[in-house]
């Protein structure tokens, strides 16, 4: 089969990237790319800028992290593939996307499991996070101990949502996530896994009725322009995982790597506080921009998930050990 010019260029580019990485490792200098899907105004990016500056200074220029926000290096799934292949050294990846490679990464996304941030951080810095990190390490990836905050996910819609009955037959956009699709189907909705870059137009043209995302993303994507109501369901909490190509990360000397790890953990903790504070102010801002907020009672939603077998099904998929770690932190779900 003849090789196209485009394929040849891609192959050459990959070879050059590999050669550059080898040269960096041999010279004792490590200039690594760090990609993410968030815009430059997002707390993840802002705290990563600080972390990169401290890392460069404290390692005497040995480790330089070059940041690429807003999917500059491709879609989330593209970037995940690149970091596994070694053509990209690091990526900051939402758990709901990572779960397509590491199913255990959606353990924290069980519907209506977490009631507040203190419960989230106790679980993610403890047994629940341990389960997820252990499964990530089975791939060609290394993962930082501290997960960053993506936030609690809420629903926006053209009509108010106050109970599961309000979702019956509604066309709800969800990410390409088996767990989130299962969650909303169990609540009676018709799920639509539309790409995020097509979401605004889909809502504007009433192709779909509703969507779900953290408030920060609802704001930055201006979804308030094409939705009328926001139900603060907090139905799922999700985080951002800092992932590295194993070979690239382990080529950094251990003492230097400890400096990098320490600074990433420090910035992750700062970003958690940033995001929590941002969420508390965004409701007021989005109200002035036209969204009408409500806070539904989540008990009927949990009861519906129990009756439809959602919890039983996902307990079986995750296994007894992982499910026990989750219920230890959030209480009995099944």
Q: Is residue 5 part of a domain?
A: no
Q: What region, left, alpha or beta, does residue 71 occupy, with left being phi > 0 and alpha being psi -120 to 50 degrees?
A: left
Angle between helices 299-307 and 178-186 (to 10 degrees): 100
In a domain, 334, yes or no: no
Domain containing residue 145: CATH number: 3.40.190.170
Domain that includes residue 150, residue range = 11-325
Q: How many domains in the chain?
A: 1
What is the model's pTM? 0.86
Q: Which residues of the chain have a pLDDT value below 50?
A: 1-27
The answer as to whether 224 is a domain residue is yes
**Rounded (10°) angle between helices 117-124 and 127-136:** 50
Using one digit for the tens of pLDDT, what is the confidence trace for 111-162?
999 999 999 999 999 999 999 999 999 998 999 999 999 999 999 999 999 9
What's the pLDDT at 10?
Answer: 42
The token pair that represents 247 in the structure block: 């070979």
Question: What is d(CA 44, CA 97) in angstroms, rounded to the nearest whole number?
Answer: 17
At 177 the pLDDT is: 86
Q: Tell me what pLDDT residue 192 has.
A: 92
Instruction: Tell me what pLDDT residue 12 has.
Output: 38
């Amino acid at each position: 089969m003849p090789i196209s010019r485009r394929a040849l260029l891609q192959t050459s580019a990959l070879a050059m990237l590999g050669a550059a990485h080898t040269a960096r490792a041999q010279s004792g200098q490590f200039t690594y790319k760090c990609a993410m899907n968030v815009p430059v105004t997002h707390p993840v990016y802002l705290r990563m800028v600080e972390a990169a500056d401290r890392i460069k200074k404290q390692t005497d220029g040995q480790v330089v992290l070059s940041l690429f926000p807003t999917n500059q290096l491709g879609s989330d799934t593209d970037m995940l593939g690149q970091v596994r292949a070694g053509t990209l050294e690091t990526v900051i990846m939402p758990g709901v996307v990572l779960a397509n490679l590491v199913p255990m990464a959606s353990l924290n996304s069980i519907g209506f499991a977490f009631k507040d941030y203190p419960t989230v951080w106790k679980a993610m810095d403890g047994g629940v996070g341990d389960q997820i990190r252990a499964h990530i390490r089975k791939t060609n990836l290394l993962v930082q101990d501290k997960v960053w905050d993506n936030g609690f996910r809420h629903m926006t819609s053209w009509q108010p949502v106050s109970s599961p009955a309000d979702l019956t037959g509604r066309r709800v956009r969800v990410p390409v996530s088996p767990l989130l699709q299962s969650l909303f189907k169990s609540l009676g909705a018709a799920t639509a896994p539309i790409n995020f870059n097509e979401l605004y137009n889909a809502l504007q043209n009433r192709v779909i009725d509703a969507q779900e995302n953290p408030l920060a993303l609802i704001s930055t994507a201006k979804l308030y322009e094409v939705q009328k109501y926001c139900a603060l369901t907090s139905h799922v909490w999700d985080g951002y995982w800092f992932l590295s190509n194993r070979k690239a990360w382990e080529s950094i000397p251990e003492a230097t790597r400890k400096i990098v790890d320490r600074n990433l953990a420090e910035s992750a903790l700062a970003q958690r506080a940033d995001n929590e504070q941002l969420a508390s102010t965004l409701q007021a801002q989005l109200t002035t921009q036209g969204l009408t907020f409500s806070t539904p009672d989540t008990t009927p939603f949990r009861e519906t998930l129990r009756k439809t077998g959602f919890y039983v099904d996902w307990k079986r998929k995750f296994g007894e050990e992982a499910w026990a770690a989750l219920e230890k932190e959030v209480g009995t779900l099944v």
